[in-house]
Structure 1
């Protein structure tokens, strides 16, 4: 049986396109974001992937959540990564987790399709098998460079980079390159209920590690709230 709970909303923006293994160089699985951030994600928003609605991220402030939480298959292979994201959303929904996906074509030109082609490709091609994301996808756009979306300027500047090496520059399609840039698809950020970034993950960090980091942080926050009562 599912259960309903009153909880705060946690945001995990994700970059959804193909996954290619780059050369590794002193990367960290995750970093904590800077303690003093003057802005929040609630001052930003984005268009849904179908272009029908502009969603202000203020919508993701605290909410009531009801849902069942099934067990996922946790592997870090492209074929399963999309389903892992669905499982992450399902497993932590009762904790108030909200997963948001932002496709980008800046990494190896791996997301060349139009916005209208992305969901059918996920459903019928990769991973296929009728797959439908259970999290909100937004329109494809730049996450780095001169035309990057403002939400990513904020997120990147709020956290240290997880790796400084850019890998093969011939597979990176933006200018100028900046140290805080997102280095590849599936890099992730965690944002608190207050709208402030708190964690950033390397793109190859196993989803089980991501889940464990989120759960540890949620438990710590719950304990802090309990101690304040």
Structure 2
């Protein structure tokens, strides 16, 4: 679970451009409507598609943020990212069914503000980055940094970060945690 410090809420303070650059999305648009895993683009995209389809009727929104800081695995320009996902990784005609934003940094001196906030609101998922040489491309390294592309955050309807998952955690565990969280929220709504 995460501790939110201060009064800043993700949904009222941050915005990002969509992957194609056609619009800027204010996270305040999601206030009161959804619980949003904020996620870097990950190889388990097909599992995220399935999670989104299953949980969308219950108010879940998934937001994806491509990043090239981990092994330089996302080198493409914005117009190359979707074809890369469709034909290379994960491939097999994959098309994400959730909103993708422009590629940006999630760690280091040029990190997106939303990630600065998320990382300051949730404790690190560990201190080990694994082998770093030729894999991690930012400075300075901090223990609170995103460890790899597979790391995810859950943000509640009130804009407060709720959970953070280590990059090795499977989407099935994320699904169970999100279900449990949504059930808790439903119970609060019904009994309060």
What TM-score does the superposition give when structure 2 sets the normalisation length? 0.91
Structure-2 separation of matches of 1:150 and 1:38? 15
Work out which of the residue numbers 158, 161, 170 in structure 2 matches 1:206. 170
Total equivalences in the alignment: 183
For 1:167 and 1:127, locate their aligned partners in 2 and report how far apart those are by CA, in whole Å: 23
Change (3 A) 1:127 1:202: same
Please give the alpha-carbon distance, in whole angstroms, between the structure 1 residues aligned to 2:63 and 2:6.
21
CA distance in 1, matches of 2:91, 2:143: 35
Question: Which runs of 5 or more structure 2 residues have no equivalent in the other structure?
Answer: 35-41
State the structure with more CA Rg.
Answer: 1
User: How far is the alpha carbon of 1:36 from its aligned partner?
Assistant: 4.4
Alpha-carbon distance change, 88 to 37 in structure 1, aligned in 2, over 3 angstroms = farther
Is the 8 Å Cα contact of residues 37 and 196 (structure 1) preserved in structure 2? no
Given the alignment, which residue of 125, 129, 133 partners 1:166?
A: 129
CA–CA distance in structure 1, aligned partners of residues 170 and 91 of structure 2: 21
Instruction: Return 5+ residue gaps in structure 1 as ranges.
Output: 1-31, 65-76
Cα distance in 2 for residues equivalent to 1:96 and 1:116: 29
Counterparts in 2 of 1:1-229, with a 5 A limit?
A: 32-42=1-11, 43-63=13-33, 78=43, 81-170=44-133, 171-228=135-192
- Native 8 Å contact 2:129 2:147 kept in 1: yes
Residues 130-165 of structure 1: per-residue CA shift (max 9 Å, x gap): 211000000000000001011100000000001111
Contact 2:4 2:160 in 1 (8 A): no
User: Where in structure 1 do 4 or more consecutive aligned residues deviate above 6 Å?
Assistant: none
In the TM superposition, residue 218 of structure 1 has moved relative to its aligned partner by: 0.8
**SS of corresponding position for 1:116:** helix
CA contact (8 A) 2:33 2:157 kept: no
Q: Which structure has the highest strand share of the two?
A: 1
Give me the CA root mean square deviation.
Answer: 1.5
Tell me if structure 1 keeps the 8 A contact 2:4–2:161: no
TM-score with structure 1 setting the length: 0.77
